[in-house]
Amino acid sequence: MDSVPEGVPTLPSLMDVWDATRMRLLVELDRGSTLSMAAKTVGISQPSASEHLRLLSTAAGEPVAERNGRSLTLTPGGRILARVASQALSNLSAGESALAARAGLRTGTLDIGASSVPGTYILPHVVSDFVQRCPDVTVRLSVGPSDAVIDWLLDGRITLAITCSEITTPGLRVETVGPDEIVGICSPGILDISSSGHVGRDQLVGQTLLVQERGSSTRVQAIDLHGAGSGWKSVWELGSVDAVKRAARERTGVGFVSIHSIAEERRRGELVEFRVDGVNWGRRDVRAVALHGVVTAPADHYFKVLLTDAIGGPAAAPSVPG
């Protein structure tokens, strides 16, 4: 192995300069923050942030950020490092929460992302239960389309994703926490629903199909039915589950939504549910998704226990681990 001549300084490696401040700086820039905003979030001055980026570029052997007009953006190499930094910070956070478990979950952070159905109709009361049981754990919940939630997880913005979608993205650990079902909905009297709760495909001919926003797993399944020759009069693309339910209540068409999302409307008699003869795609699962190989923080684990209890079975709620 060639040795470095005496008196010639050696360049630092990434391992030499990798610390939490620089990791957080890269993550903030990757999220679209300006240099001044990223520096403020991390808690350093803008000149100091510039020096950190210069040192990272030297260690990486290529620029990690570049000027684009008046703004500063990460280079492809910088984005690679930002992704690694997000995962490293997630592991550090999990380690802190693991130590917090020794104090009975009296400290720590729970960062959850959820797709629209679980995020709107299942998680709120579970989060409320968690906060009551673990009042000193900081909880952050973000709700968005299924594909966006998985992106947040991969970017390290959340540590736990709750979704009803099929997950095929590599590098993720998927657990089933409870059942879900896609059902048809309409205003009472629109369709002739059998005593078993079914309708034939012929009853859908000439109806307006109400579907959700792009990125929704429910939308994909509804469009599949549309493509199977059901003869819809038209297809309305709406912005949310609530918009689909509202349009169905106004007798403008029929939609397909999670059974978890219509509990109140069923109770009040505003909507009725149905299944379509010969269509078997209604059954699905609520899934908890995390990065593969990342230690599960106690807060994440305990939240999954409460969620499973809420939608998966009649077992008594567990006590707070101590």
pLDDT in tens, 148-168: 999 999 988 899 999 988 888
Q: Residues 220-230: what's their mean pLDDT? A: 61
Q: In terms of Cα–Cα distance, which of 250, 263, 260 is closest to 186?
A: 250
Q: Considering only 6-15, 33-42, 47-56, 222-231, which range has the smallest mean pLDDT? A: 222-231
Domain with CATH 1.10.10.10 in the chain: 14-74
> Rounded distance, CA 170 to CA 193, Å?
42
Q: How many CB atoms lie within 10 A of CB 189?
A: 9
Instruction: Confirm if 129 and 60 have CB atoms less than 8 A apart.
Output: no
pLDDT value of position 314: 38
pLDDT value of position 4: 47
Return the structure tokens found at 72. 């500063």
> Rounded distance, CA 205 to CA 254, Å?
11
- Its pTM stands at 0.61
CATH C-level class of 14-74:
mainly alpha
Strand 172-186 versus strand 198-199 pairing type:
unpaired
Question: At 298, is the secondary structure helix, strand, or coil?
Answer: helix
- Cα–Cα separations (whole angstroms), residue 318 to 64, 109, 127, 225: 47, 20, 15, 40
Share of the chain above pLDDT 90, in %: 38
Confidence bin at 280 (pLDDT 50/70/90):
confident
Average pLDDT, rounded, for the chain: 84
Confidence bin at 319 (pLDDT 50/70/90):
very low
> Rounded distance, CA 135 to CA 257, Å?
33
Backbone CA torsion sign across 130, 135, 139, 143: positive
Given a cut of 60, whether residue 228 has pLDDT beyond it is: no
Q: Considering only 1-15, 68-82, 300-314, which range has the smallest mean pLDDT? A: 1-15
Domain with CATH 3.40.190.10 in the chain: 93-178+284-312, 180-283
Q: Which residue has the higher pLDDT, 185 or 11?
A: 185
| CATH homologous superfamily for the domain 180-283 | Periplasmic binding protein-like II (3.40.190.10)
Instruction: Classify each residue of 63-89 as buried b or exposed e, where b means 16 or more C-beta atoms within 10 Å of its C-beta.
Output: bbbeeeeeebbbeebbbebbbebbbbb
Confidence bin at 265 (pLDDT 50/70/90):
very high
Confidence bin at 245 (pLDDT 50/70/90):
very high
pLDDT in tens, 85-94: 888 887 777 6
pLDDT in tens, 103-143: 556 677 899 999 988 999 999 999 999 999 888 889 999 99
pLDDT in tens, 62-108: 999 998 877 888 999 999 999 888 888 877 776 666 555 555 566 77
Q: What residues contact residue 216 under an 8 Å CB cut-off, 6+ apart?
A: 115, 116, 145, 146
pLDDT value of position 262: 93
> Rounded distance, CA 210 to CA 322, Å?
48
Which helix H or strand E contains 224, and what residues bound it?
helix 217-227
pLDDT value of position 254: 93
CATH of 93-178+284-312, one of 1.10.645.10, 3.40.640.10, 3.40.190.10, 3.40.50.720: 3.40.190.10
Judged on CB neighbours under 10 Å (0-12, 13-18, 19+), 234 is: exposed
